[in-house]
Structures are given as C-alpha cells and as structure tokens.
Amino acid sequence: MKLITSYTSPFGRKVRIVLAEKRIECQLIEDNPWVAESSVSALNPLGKVPILLLDDGRTLYDSRVIVDFLDHSSPVGKLIPSDHRQAISIKRREALADGISDAAVLIRQERSRQPHMQSTEWIEHQQAKIERGLEHIAGELDEKKWWGGDLFSLADVALGCTLAYLDFRLPELGWQSRYPNLQKFYSKLEERPSFTETAPPMI
C-alpha cells in the first residue's frame, strides 16, 4: 500500500497514526496538492489528501474512509468497536474533531490570501466553529481517561490530531489554558510513539 499525504495535514496524520497503532506497513509519499506538478487531483477528483493506494489498484479517500478500511484490515489495535452503536459513537466524535480541523484549515487558507482579499467575517465564522467544538469536547471528556470510553479509540486519534494542528497553525487560540482537561489528555497522547513519530515538521 501507498499513502499519499502531506506531513502537515491533520487528516493525513490521523491515517499515519492509525497505521502505526495497527502496525501496518505502508509506503509514504508526500505530495502537495497546491503545486502544479501534483498527482493528487488525478487520484482524487476533490484534489485532497490523504489518498490510500491499495495493492489491488483501488484508490481510497478521504481520511475517514481510509481509517475505517485500515481498522477492519487488521485485528491488531482495534480503534473502532465492533458493536454498531458504539462504533457510531466513536465515528461521531471523529467527525466532530475533523470538523474543527476543517475550520482551522479554512482559516489557514484564508490568511494565506492577500490582506485586501481576506474576509474577517469568514475567519470569525470558522473560529466560532472551533470554539463551540472545543467547549463541547471538553465537556464530554470531563476527567475521563479517553474521549470515547474506557479504551483508546479512533476518537482519541482524531482529537489528538486536531489539538496538535491548532497548536501548529493557530497557537494564538490558546486552548490549553482554557481547557486544562484537554491539555492533560493531549499530554497523555504525546507519550504514545505513534504521535511522536508523526509530529508535523515545525515550518
């Protein structure tokens, strides 16, 4: 298998962490979809990473589809419960964390435009999504060890990637001081090899 991704993408990192947790071998190929010579659009009509190329020639995207496929591919380190109701609960949390990452990516993209072309209203709209999402998650997590229940799961992987991306691209949000339980949770994740090995380059 081959994973086409960007090392700064929170969604690509989510897939890489799942690969590491499940000990699945996969060749990593970095590809920036924003450059003219990128092959991303030829593989995913939406022009987004990550993309998983399977050995049988099939192509999978987006990250939620990929991690679901990977979790069902190996019994090692199960991240999605086999019980349907529990699985939906975990996937709902993944969607919420991914939605926060989406909003952060949109802010990053808007700020990369020329100053006179940027929309303050658009940025504030995305920031409001982030704030509502973090507040909701902090309330759900409370003082529990893991977000989705007693066991480490895909929900925790997704949330860890989101918090790391906020640190990386939007450090001014200062979520750590306002949500100490999220900071405690994140510090625990940083101790896992799958997280330390996939940390984004500090560029």
Q: In percent, how much of the chain has pLDDT > 70?
A: 99
**What pLDDT was estimated at residue 201?**
81
Residue-wise pLDDT for 148-190, tens only, equals 999 999 999 999 999 999 999 999 999 999 999 999 999 999 9
Closest residue by Cα to residue 152 from 97, 79, 58, 62: 79
Name the band, by pLDDT with cuts 50, 70 and 90, for residue 202. low
Residues 6+ apart with CB under 8 A from 191: none
**What pLDDT was estimated at residue 92?**
99
Domains of the chain: 2-73 (3.40.30.10), 84-192 (1.20.1050.10)
- pLDDT over threshold 80, residue 203: no
Name the band, by pLDDT with cuts 50, 70 and 90, for residue 200. confident
- pLDDT over threshold 60, residue 118: yes
Check: pTM over 0.95? Answer yes or no.
yes
Residue-wise pLDDT for 56-111, tens only, equals 999 999 999 999 999 999 999 999 999 999 999 999 999 999 999 999 999 999 99
Average pLDDT, the chain: 97
Give the mean model confidence (pLDDT) for residues 24-32.
Answer: 97
Closest residue by Cα to residue 15 from 94, 87, 82: 94
Residues 6+ apart with CB under 8 A from 152: 79, 146
**What pLDDT was estimated at residue 103?**
99
**What pLDDT was estimated at residue 79?**
99
The secondary structure of residue 80, as a DSSP letter, is S
Q: How many H-runs (helices) and E-runs (strands) does the chain carry?
A: 9, 4
Structure tokens at 108: 């990053």
Strands 59-60 and 2-5: unpaired
